[in-house]
């Protein structure tokens, strides 16, 4: 099996795993990975639960479409990460439940909005910034994301959901899983009046 085929197979497994465990629903999520100067991203309107190799759009790094279906309309979010964070080789965006809940709250520090109730989010990712609300797929959202992408390590789009990058697909998968779990813990403890841990 070629390296590209392995990456596509892994992307399909990740998508189905997230879908089957309720971390995304319908056609609300997208993922991408880099391979030999090209970006492979799930096509617009695709469902993580039914991904096949034909559902991936292929683009060059100038966002010119090369093959496959039209790309997800949120492609510019992915490209901001690839262009501004060279170590990022894969990106995942979902609408996972607790991350969305947390993104709807008011936060004092928009560059790091999820408290360190456990050490694992900081160990695996770092800070999680909040991107102000703008309509999904809009140029305004892409501009707000681009202005803040270098201020944090992962992101919550306000009233929308998480976006993370990783050094490869599995890394991005582990990160978005940890972000959702940390948001779930944060939501459960939000009114408890206790302090997060400090290293």
**pLDDT attached to residue 100:** 97
Kindly state whether residue 70 falls inside one of the protein's structural domains: yes
Kindly state whether residue 196 falls inside one of the protein's structural domains: no
Per-block mean pLDDT, blocks of 10 residues, the chain (199 long): 95 98 93 97 96 97 92 97 97 98 96 94 96 97 98 98 98 98 95 77
Kindly state whether residue 117 falls inside one of the protein's structural domains: yes
**pLDDT attached to residue 191:** 87
Kindly state whether residue 198 falls inside one of the protein's structural domains: no
Kindly state whether residue 14 falls inside one of the protein's structural domains: yes
Number of folded domains that form the chain: 1
pTM above 0.85, yes or no: yes
**pLDDT attached to residue 133:** 98
Range of the domain at 153: 3-188
pLDDT digits (tens, 9 = 90+) for 106-119: 999 999 999 999 99
Q: Residue 168: which CATH number?
A: 3.40.225.10
Kindly state whether residue 147 falls inside one of the protein's structural domains: yes
**pLDDT attached to residue 199:** 61
Kindly state whether residue 199 falls inside one of the protein's structural domains: no
Catalytic residues: 74, 120
- Dist CA 191 CA 160 (whole Å): 22
Kindly state whether residue 193 falls inside one of the protein's structural domains: no
């Amino acid at each position: 099996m070629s390296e590209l085929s392995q990456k596509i197979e892994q992307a399909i497994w990740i998508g189905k795993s997230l879908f089957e465990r309720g971390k995304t629903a319908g056609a609300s999520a997208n993922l991408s990975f880099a391979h030999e100067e090209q970006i492979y991203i799930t096509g617009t309107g695709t469902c993580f639960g039914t991904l096949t190799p034909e559902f991936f759009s292929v683009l060059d790094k100038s966002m010119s479409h090369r093959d496959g279906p039209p790309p997800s309309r949120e492609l510019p979010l992915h490209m901001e990460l690839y262009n501004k964070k060279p170590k990022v080789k894969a990106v995942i965006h979902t609408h996972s439940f607790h991350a969305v809940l947390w993104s709807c709250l008011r936060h004092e520090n928009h560059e790091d909005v999820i408290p360190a109730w456990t050490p694992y989010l900081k160990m695996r990712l770092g800070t999680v910034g909040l991107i102000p609300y703008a309509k999904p797929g809009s140029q305004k959202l892409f501009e707000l994301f681009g202005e803040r992408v270098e201020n944090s390590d992962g992101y919550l789009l306000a009233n929308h959901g998480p976006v993370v990058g990783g050094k490869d697909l599995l890394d991005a998968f582990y990160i978005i899983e940890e972000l959702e779990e940390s948001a779930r813990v944060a939501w459960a403890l939000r009114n408890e009046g206790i302090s997060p841990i400090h290293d």
